[in-house]
């Protein structure tokens, strides 16, 4: 019996690895589709910005830094939908605690890269403003920072959305960007930090970002998983003096399955809440640009 249990663990791990690897092979292409409207729009905006930067007569290094940040800021494409392989790898990681599967689950989600590019853009723009406080690109950089900070996740960045817009209006009142900054400051947006806090309850972050149905489904999944843990635990406690493996093994299996469901739901709900906030903010920005066709 002991020998069988010793071989079952590695065998189960190998089975999870094989299943996750096979799911990876069935995943969708990582390339951006040729008909991706979000990517096409970002390219058009980037081309416009490149012309503005060239016409600013800023030093060459300033122009290069600004465009580097702009490329990160404009890294946008339509969400491809999270593949089954990613969920399988995440579930396997929760079940057998194998770090390589956590890495695999993340590698399968290229869309999560979009959550990090805003912090990269902010870092480069803020560095530019510190290195050359009189750069002709300062008003445009502040305007971009006002939007970019709304999707920031990293700690340690020196500013904020409202701070950037306010500095633009105070320091460059005569700039055509000043009235745009005032209106942009009032544009609706959601906070990544609040979505993270709300995600302590799976699904609440989605509700905060306006995806109510998505959030309610995730709450229901968490409730089911929690019930699968709690109910067998209570039953086992009540039978604590008369438990036997041959009769009560379903209690253990049910509780383990429930724990896996809860763990997977927590992790995926947090990541999905950030995605929902990102898309909410980008829709708000796109609507603002549509109302102000002259906005950079």
The pLDDT value given to residue 272: 92
| 16 located within any domain | no
The pLDDT value given to residue 107: 42
Walking along the chain (296 residues) 10 residues at a time, the average pLDDT comes out as 42 46 53 93 97 97 98 90 51 44 49 90 98 98 99 95 98 97 98 96 97 96 95 90 86 92 89 95 98 95
Q: Which long-range contacts (CB under 8 A, 24 or more apart) does 37-40 make?
A: 37/78, 38/76, 38/77, 38/78, 39/76, 39/77, 39/78
Is 40 found in the same domain as 180? yes
| 18 located within any domain | no
Q: Which residues contact 178 (CB under 8 A, 6 or more apart)?
A: 139, 168, 169, 172
| 178 located within any domain | yes
The structure's pTM equals 0.81
- Residue 248's domain comprises 190-296
Count of domains in the chain?
Answer: 2
Is 241 found in the same domain as 260? yes
The pLDDT value given to residue 85: 52
> Which of 168, 186, 204 is the endpoint of a domain?
186
CA–CA gap between residue 219 and residue 202 (Å, rounded): 6
The pLDDT value given to residue 111: 74
Is 198 found in the same domain as 147? no
Is 257 found in the same domain as 124? no
Is 247 found in the same domain as 233? yes
Is 241 found in the same domain as 99? no
The pLDDT value given to residue 267: 85
Is 256 found in the same domain as 170? no
| 1 located within any domain | no
CATH number of the domain where residue 87 is located? 1.25.40
């Amino acid at each position: 019996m002991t020998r069988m249990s010793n071989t079952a663990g590695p065998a189960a791990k190998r089975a999870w690895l094989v299943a996750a690897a096979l799911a990876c092979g069935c995943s969708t292409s990582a390339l951006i589709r040729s008909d991706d409207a979000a990517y096409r729009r970002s390219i058009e905006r980037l081309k416009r910005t490149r012309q503005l930067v060239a016409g600013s007569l800023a030093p060459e290094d300033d122009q290069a830094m600004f465009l580097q940040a702009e490329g990160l800021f404009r890294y946008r494409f339509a969400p491809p939908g999270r593949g089954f392989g990613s969920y399988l790898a995440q579930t396997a990681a929760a079940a057998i605690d194998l770090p390589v599967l956590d890495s695999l689950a993340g590698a399968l989600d290229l869309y999560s890269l979009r959550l990090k590019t805003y912090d990269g853009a902010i870092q480069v723009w803020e560095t530019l403003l510190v290195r050359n406080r009189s750069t002709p690109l300062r008003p445009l950089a502040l305007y971009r920072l006002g939007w970019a900070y709304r999707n920031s996740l990293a700690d340690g960045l020196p500013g904020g959305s409202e701070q950037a817009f306010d500095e633009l209006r105070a320091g460059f009142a005569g700039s055509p960007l000043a009235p745009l900054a005032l209106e942009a400051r009032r544009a609706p947006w959601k906070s990544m930090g609040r979505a993270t806090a709300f995600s302590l309850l799976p699904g609440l972050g989605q509700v905060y970002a306006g995806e109510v149905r998505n959030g309610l489904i995730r709450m229901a999944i968490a409730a089911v998983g929690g019930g699968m843990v709690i109910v067998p635990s209570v039953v086992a406690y009540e039978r604590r003096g008369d438990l036997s493996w041959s009769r009560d093994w379903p209690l253990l299996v049910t509780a383990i399955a429930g724990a896996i469901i809860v763990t997977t739901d927590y992790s995926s709900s947090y990541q999905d809440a950030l995605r929902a906030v990102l898309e909410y903010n980008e829709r708000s920005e796109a609507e603002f640009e549509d109302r102000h066709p002259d906005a950079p």
